[in-house]
Amino acid sequence: MTRWIGKHAWNIGLAALLAALLGVTKLIQPEFGVSGVESLTRAALPFAFATAAMAVVVIVGGIDLSVASMMAVTGVTAAVLMQHAGDGSSVAVTFLTLLVGVAMGTVNGSLVVLTKVPDIVVTLAMLFVWEGVALLILEAPGGAVADWLMAAVVGGLGGVVDWVPRALILMVFCISVVWVPIKRSRLGLSIYATGSDRAAAFRSGVAVGRTRVAAYAVAGLFCALGGLSLTMITGIGEPVPGPYLLASVAAVVLGGVTLGGGRGGLLGPIIAVFILRLIRLMLTLMAVDPNVTTIVEGAIMVIVVMIGGLLTLKGRRR
């Protein structure tokens, strides 16, 4: 039991922090309730997918700066193709969009592995490339999205569980369906092994290159989900990338994934997304100047990560 707690200490701490923040929000704004949580979750949805994408790449020991751009490409792809599509073909379009995401991720990963150019350089270049592609597909915000997709993210589940937001279910479902089987498989092990110590992984017989490409491809898939969710929320395609890149890095770090790779999971970063969104909401409710808001967010991130670092250090000394 204590071992289990020790292993999941970071996630437990984050969950406690989130619960405390929810309590404080309720104190600040007594009306904050089911609908507040619903809109918070909906707003968090694209951030959660972007963070999942970033987390996978960081765990394998890399980084992907083109996350937001890939979301833009997939978002506009879906919006353009669905403009005149019926319900049936919109399902096909959804799958096509996911494939586009995987393809983009594979391109990123292959370039990183084959050219041996540092990942930060390759994906910075791809940030511009995918941004251009998104603008080629759709010059100005536009397009449309199927009604059933829009309905999937709005409101609660209905009945006695109406307080559970649909967006949350969608988020948990999509991320689990992709990540849980991977994590249980040899691919998942290889991803962690490669991120932890690439040379040792190679010596243990891990196909390091293929593993890295696969991790980028999974990240591409999460980006596609992120792009889709963005289109589902707004109802249109937006070719200019949103603020998802830096937000995802922040959530990954706060979520307990080491930037060197090999450590952490997806649960922590997702909780961290909620924490960061909630802090922003609280500051808005308290009518804090939006410019001060970003300062506070940055400060909180540094403080939390620092406290976490000190606690682990202390735990190791003992």
Binding site for another protein (CB under 8 A): 3, 186, 189-190, 192-193, 195-197, 199-207, 262-263, 317
Is 121 or 240 the residue whose CB approaches another protein more closely?
121
The minimum distance between CB 196 and another protein, in angstroms, equals 4
Is 190 or 229 the residue whose CB approaches another protein more closely?
190
The minimum distance between CB 269 and another protein, in angstroms, equals 16
The minimum distance between CB 264 and another protein, in angstroms, equals 9
Is 135 or 210 the residue whose CB approaches another protein more closely?
210
Is 26 or 186 the residue whose CB approaches another protein more closely?
186
What one-character-per-residue DSSP string does the chain give? -HHHHHHTHHHHHHHHHHHHHHHHHHHH-TT-SHHHHHHHHHHHHHHHHHHHHHHHHHHTT---TTHHHHHHHHHHHHHHHHTT--HHHHHHHHHHHHHHHHHHHHHHHHHHHHH---HHHHHHHHHHHHHHHHHHH-SSSB----HHHHHTTSSB--GGGTTSBHHHHHHHHHHHHHHHHHHHSHHHHHHHHHHH-HHHHHHTT--HHHHHHHHHHHHHHHHHHHHHHHHHHHSSB--S--THHHHHHHHHHHTT--TTSS---SHHHHHHHHHHHHHHHHHHHTT--HHHHHHHHHHHHHHHHHHHHHHHHHHHH-
The minimum distance between CB 107 and another protein, in angstroms, equals 24
The minimum distance between CB 25 and another protein, in angstroms, equals 35
Is 125 or 187 the residue whose CB approaches another protein more closely?
187
